[in-house]
Amino acid sequence: MPKTPLDGALVLIAAWGVIGLAGLLRPHSVRFVGRVLFPLSALCGLALAVVAARGVAAPAGHALLVVGLPDLPIHLRCDALACLFLLVLGAATAGISLFAGGYFRQGHGAAPGLLCLQYHMFLASMGCVLLADDAYAFMVAWESMALSSYFLVTTQHRLAEIRRAGFLYLLIAHLGAIAILLSFGVLQGGSWRFTFDSMRAAHLSAPWATVAFMLALLGFGAKAGLVPLHVWLPEAHPAAPSPVSALMSGVMLKTAVYGMLRVSFDLLGSPPWWWGLIALGAGLGSAFYGVIFSAVQTDMKRLLAWSSIENLGIIFAGLGLSIVFSGFRMGALAALALIAALYHCLNHAFMKSLLFLGTGAVLHATGERNLGRLGGLMRRMPWVAWLTLIGALAIAGLPPLNGFVSEWLLLQAFLFAGDVPRAFVDMLLPVGAAIVALCTALAGYAMVKFYGVIFLGQPREPALAEAEDAGLLERAGLVWLAAGCVALGVLPVQVIGMLDTVSRALLGTTLAAPAAHWWLLAPAAARGASYGPLVFLLVAALVIVLTLLAVRLLYHRRVRRAPPWDCGYVRLDARMQDSAEGFGQPIRHIFQPFFLIRRELPSAFDRLPRYHMEVGDRIWRYAYEPVGQLVRRVADLVAVLQQGRISTYLMYSFVTLLVLLGVVL
C-alpha cells in the first residue's frame, strides 16, 4: 500500500499508462476497450481523487527518479496545491472515463485501442505536470500533454477542418511552451540549477522577476485560452471527440492555472501588487470577450468553448485580485480571492465536463452540432436533458448549485476591498465587480439559449424523432458529474475548509471567518454577508411542494386543456420557434463593434432564397491572418532554394564552407 499521497498518485498515474498500453492488446475491440479499460480508468480517477483529498492537509512529499538527461534527474513533489489539482483531475476523469466507455466506438477515425492509448497518455501526462518539481520534468510532461491531446483533437484527421484546428492548437501550445521555458530560465537566477527548490532560493532583481512573471502569464495564458491567445480553443474543442473536449476544457485548462499559481506564489514568493492588476485585466477582458461570443454562437460545442474562455477569465481575475491584496498585505481578502479562484476551478471541471458530455450524447443521437437543426429532445432523451439542465443552471451561476458559490465569493472579494491604500486601485475594483456581474448575467443568457434551443420546443428536423437516450455507462458518467455540481453547491463550508489549507500554504494566511456554522457560509462575517445553500434548497423545495399541493387541492379537475393560441395561423410548427440566430441578435446588436459580421443576403432571382450570416473574431482577422500571410510569403521566398537538383545543393554546401573558412580565418 502506498505510504504517502505522492506514492499513491504515482501508482495511479502509472496505472493509467498501463491501461493505455493494454488498449493495444485488442485495438479493434470496442467491447474490451469500452467495457473494461475505460471503467478501470474511471476507478483509477476516483482513487486518485480520494488520495489527493487526503493529501491536501498532509506535509509535502518529495521523490527523486534517477532517469532523464545526465545531471538532470526528475524531481517530484506533492504538496497541498498539487493535491488539489490532482483532486480536480481524478474527480472529473472518473465521470468522463465512464461516459467515454459508452461513447467511443468504431468509425471515430482511429481504432478504439489507439484512442485508449492516447487518452490515457493524456491523463498520465497531466498528472506528471502536477507532480513535477523541476523545469526538466515539468516541460517533458507539459509537451507530452500537448502532443497526446493533439492526436486526440485530430482523431478525425481525414477532414481538412480538423487538421487545421489541430495545427493551430499545436502551434499556440508550442509558443506557450517556449514562453514557459524562458520563464524557468529566468527563474533559475544564474545558478543553472533547474529544480524548483533552487528557483525558490534564487534572489531575482525586480525587473527580472517581472520578466519571469510576464513570460509565465504569456505561456500559461496561451494554454488557458486568455485573449488574445484564445484562437485555438474555439477551433480545437469542437474538433475533438466530446470526452476529449470535456477533458481539455474541464481539466487541461486547469493545469495552466496550476502553473500560474506555482510560479506566482511559490517560485517567485511575494509578487508586487501591480502584477495582479495585469492578471486581473487579462482575466476580466477574457471573461467578457468569451461570454459575448458564447452568446452568439450557433454551434453547440463552439458555444461551450467560448464559455470556457469566459470561465478561465474569471479564474485568472480571482488570481490577479489575490495578488493585488497580497501585495497590499491584506491577507484575509487575498485568501478570499484565491479561494474563489480555486473553487471555480473545481466547479468548472464538473460543470463544463457535464455540458460537453451532454452535447456528445446529443451529437451521437442526432449527428448534429448546429443549434438550428435541433430542438425538442427532452422527450426523446430525458436522462441527458435533465442532467444537462443541472450543468446549465450551475454554469449560469444560479443557487444552490456550485457555480453560484465561487462567483459569489469572488464578488465578495471585490465588494469588500474598500481599504486598498491606492486610490487608483480602489476606484478600479468596483468596475471589476461590475464586469463579473455582467459576465454572469450574459452566461445565464447563453445557457438559456443553449438549453432551450436543444431540448425544448418542437424538433426542427424530422430525423430528431429517432434520437435515442444515452446508454448506461454514459448516464453513469453524467450522473457523477451532476452529483458533483450539486455537492459542491450545497456543501461550500466543507470545500472551503479544504481550500483554506491551500491558501495557507501559498499565502501564509487564511480566511478571517470561513463559516458561522457548518451550514452557513460567511467568508467576511464582520461585514455581514452570508449564504446558506441548504436553507435556500429547503425553502425552494418547500415552495415547490406547497405550490403542487395548492394546485392539486384547489384546481384539481378544473383545468381545461386546449391547443395554444396560434395568432390566427392555421398551425404552429418548428419554424415559428425562436432560433439560435434570433436569440443572439440582441447581443450582436449591442456589442457589434466586437464582432466581424459577414452577411449574405438573398437575391430576388434566387429560387430558394436564404439569409446567411457569420460572426467572426476581429482578433483573428486583424492580428493572426496578417502574421500567417507574412509567414507564407517568407516561406515562398525560402522555397526558391529548393531546386530539386543535387548539383545546386552541393553548391550551397561549397559556398557555406567558403563562408565558414572566411569567418574562422
What pLDDT digit, counting tens, does each position of 549-603 carry? 887 777 766 667 777 676 766 666 767 777 777 788 888 888 888 888 777 666 6
Rg (CA), the chain: 26
Q: What is the pLDDT of residue 665?
A: 65
The helix (H) or strand (E) run that includes residue 660 is helix 646-664
Q: What is the pLDDT of residue 419?
A: 74
Q: Is the pLDDT of residue 185 over 60?
A: yes
Q: Is the pLDDT of residue 57 over 90?
A: no
Contact status, residue 345 vs residue 338, Cβ threshold 8 Å: no
Q: What is the pLDDT of residue 73?
A: 81
Q: What is the pLDDT of residue 17?
A: 93
The pLDDT confidence band at residue 451, using thresholds 50, 70 and 90, is: very high
Tell me how far apart the alpha carbons of residues 209 and 204 are, in angstroms, rounded to a whole number.
6
Amino acid making up residue 95 = G
Mean pLDDT value across residues 603-615: 64
Top pLDDT among 269 and 406 is at 406
Contact status, residue 343 vs residue 327, Cβ threshold 8 Å: no
Q: What 3-state DSSP class applies to 616?
A: strand
Contact status, residue 130 vs residue 255, Cβ threshold 8 Å: yes
Q: Which of 45-59, 133-147, 243-257, 455-469 is least confident? A: 455-469
The helix (H) or strand (E) run that includes residue 64 is strand 61-69
Q: What is the pLDDT of residue 240?
A: 87
Q: Which of 406-420, 475-489, 514-528, 643-657 is least confident? A: 514-528
Residue spans per domain, the chain: 281-544, 592-664
Q: Is the pLDDT of residue 203 over 90?
A: no
Tell me how far apart the alpha carbons of residues 360 and 5 are, in angstroms, rounded to a whole number.
34
Tell me how far apart the alpha carbons of residues 293 and 329 are, in angstroms, rounded to a whole number.
37
What pLDDT digit, counting tens, does each position of 338-348 carry? 999 999 999 99
The pLDDT confidence band at residue 46, using thresholds 50, 70 and 90, is: very high
What pLDDT digit, counting tens, does each position of 413-433 carry? 888 777 777 778 888 888 899
The helix (H) or strand (E) run that includes residue 315 is helix 300-327
In the 8-state DSSP scheme, what is residue 517?
Answer: E
What pLDDT digit, counting tens, does each position of 332-376 carry? 889 999 999 999 999 999 999 999 999 999 998 888 888 888 888
Mean pLDDT value across residues 101-124: 84
Q: Which of 242-251, 542-551, 569-578 is least confident? A: 569-578
Q: What is the rounded average pLDDT for all residues in the chain?
A: 86
What pLDDT digit, counting tens, does each position of 60-91 carry? 777 777 666 667 788 898 889 999 999 999 99
- The angle that helices 423-455 and 273-295 make with each other, rounded to 10 degrees, is 20
Q: Report phi then psi at 261, rounded to 5.
A: -65, -40
Top pLDDT among 530 and 636 is at 636
Q: What is the pLDDT of residue 226?
A: 93
Q: Is the pLDDT of residue 49 over 90?
A: yes
Q: What is the pLDDT of residue 610?
A: 63
Top pLDDT among 419 and 175 is at 175
Q: Is the pLDDT of residue 513 over 60?
A: no
The pLDDT confidence band at residue 530, using thresholds 50, 70 and 90, is: confident
pTM of the model: 0.91
Q: Is the pLDDT of residue 284 over 90?
A: yes
Q: What is the pLDDT of residue 285?
A: 94
Tell me how far apart the alpha carbons of residues 411 and 406 are, in angstroms, rounded to a whole number.
9
What pLDDT digit, counting tens, does each position of 2-20 carry? 678 888 999 999 999 999 9
